[in-house]
A and B are shown apart, each in its own frame.
Chain A
């Protein structure tokens, strides 16, 4: 691997990504952040390259973040979502992607409700594929931006104790954080109602709690996941009220935790359910910073996949 490239075609997940690769991405993101802060946010690095965002699920944050990241690096961008493409007419994922590819797209950023969709695409396309979230599997750029944010504040990842709270079962954010953090030498714990913890999750190498108060005692960082309220219909938890009582990050819980506990949330937030406003808007929360860092991390990835070393 040369100094400024990733020796891989695709970014599908943090599982299997090496410590060196993650470090390279995070270090590159640090220099990209400087561009985001400039008055004139444009460097010519990816001029002549094209990036397609192909989103089969609604998203504002991730999609805008990728598009801005590409534009700041002077790549051309194109967006397709289920609302505006032929997906509605029943075209297969593969046919859609092949049609896009022959138009000369260099990188496809895909979000899809089916786990493994980005792997499927990557296997059939010559273009780079970046997973922007596939089902319950992974959301690697979110994992990277979370790690970048933690590293920025605490100076390291190795040896830190990171707690992920909420619906671990359905969460691709949780999985990407778990894989990435474990690779970087952090200690990872998950907490949530037993019905929202995946079977045999401890075998991933994490500590498992159903008691949030207990879990928080051992945390340097807490990453609060969005509770998908539609899960309530499936009877996996009793009510949003009880969820907040037992697994919500409240000011009381924050006060009982260690004083400099860093609070993350991937958004969008259900205020008053998994996190109260007082915490979300308080001094220990770095939620907006995560969003900004997301642009830098995605710039780093686009650069390292398409433009690095040239």
Chain B
């Protein structure tokens, strides 16, 4: 029942087919019908994409939708609208809800709520261990059957190496990657920001980059032992980057993601913003050498994907002393603008690599049939206006939460249109109901 669309005159970037050039995209009945130059409209509704980038629908593989249990921060309705506004056609939601998504029934509940209230695709991640307690494995096979696309105890990293060994081996049997929030909690201790010059100046407890890298090293060993696929979430430290680089050179099944805030900020922001708790996130933003390593790793493909780690929190959780504030930054509605402004414009990355890292790469590593403009594939499309100038105003977010350190920042580039299964769900910043 979806109409025919002809997206005409844009720059088509389709990493799955190695295409980057002028072209039209024809959508029919919710799928890609043709990609080429000077396609005939033949009665289709024409969308003028002159000056725009036409990309496979963006996939954010690390989002906290907070439903069930913390709907005052975000829910599936608001979170998927924030995603649409930010140019994402698919989000992968984390399991640390209340209760955690650790049973087949909860996976089905999330998918049912998505069907009722969502405006973009949602692919749930289920917990590695029951209740995220790091003790007993969840039923990976049943979770997979119910629709889970990966397992993760994000936010509560599994400390026990033998349990993690079993988890990745068991999950691999069902084709599920395990996504690890890498943090050796004994070394990170109670750190609330990166341990370095600024934590010393500000008198805030720091957590060293090595606390992340230590657990990445463990995961590399486990991937080698088991052959299982382990995906390293929100890489923040240059030491982790180095371990991932070597693991990939060795041919191990390790993949990784990085967030826009780790690519854009350094720990100096905590000082610059005078202990503003919107700068608090876990893992923390680190120092210049780390930021540079992350940018190079994303450019070179050592880090596969960009994911926002969209972590909504209300004022009550943020308008308190720094050490008591909840960690997390909302990312869905600022990702494209930040990366365009801070990485593409200065020449760190080209649009081709960025589009790949935000569509094809995350889809492929999670085994999702998304992130491509191949004929016959689902017509999930993100159209980007790379020249659009705007200022971040959290009051205009579709997210229920406003916890961003980027308020007031001038950006160039945003999602112009978001198309999910052939339906236009967002146009020029407005989500269509």
Contact = CB atoms under 8 A, between A and B. Distances in A.
A78 interface: no
Nearest to A123: B274
Interface string B162-200: 000000000000000000000000000000000111011
Contacts of B201: 15, 175, 204
B323 interface: yes
A114 B199 contact: no
Contact of A114 (B196, B197, B208, B323): B323
Contacts of B320: 92-94, 120
Contacts of A116: 202-204, 274-275, 321-322
A135 B196 contact: no
B388 to A, nearest CB: 32
Contact of B322 (A94, A114, A172): A114
A53 B314 CA distance: 30
Interface stretch (A155-163, A193-201, A274-282): A193-201
Nearest to B275: A116
A67 B325 CA distance: 31
Given A116-B275, A119-B275, A123-B274, A136 B203 contact: yes
Interface residues of A, number: 25
B199 A199 contact: yes
Nearest to B208: A199
A137 interface: yes
B203 A115 contact: yes
Contact of B204 (A94, A115, A200): A115
A93 to B, nearest CB: 6
Contacts of A94: 319-320
A120 B275 contact: yes
A138 B196 CA distance: 17
A203 interface: yes
Contacts of B206: 199
A136 B190 CA distance: 14
B324 interface: yes
A123 B203 CA distance: 19
B274 A119 contact: yes
B200 A115 contact: no
A137 B275 CA distance: 11
Interface in A22-45: none
A134 interface: yes
15 contacts: A92-B319, A92-B320, A94-B319, A114-B323, A115-B203, A116-B275, A116-B321, A116-B322, A120-B321, A136-B203, A172-B203, A175-B201, A199-B200, A203-B197, A204-B201
Given A137-B203, A199-B197, 19 more contacts: A15-B201, A92-B319, A93-B320, A112-B321, A115-B202, A115-B203, A115-B323, A116-B202, A116-B274, A119-B274, A120-B322, A134-B203, A136-B203, A198-B200, A199-B199, A199-B200, A203-B200, A204-B200, A204-B201
Interface of B: 195-197, 199-206, 208, 274-275, 319-324
A-B residue pairs, 10 tightest by C-beta: A116-B275, A137-B203, A136-B203, A114-B321, A198-B200, A115-B203, A116-B322, A114-B323, A119-B275, A200-B197
Interface of A: 15, 92-94, 112, 114-117, 119-120, 123, 134-138, 172, 175, 198-201, 203-204
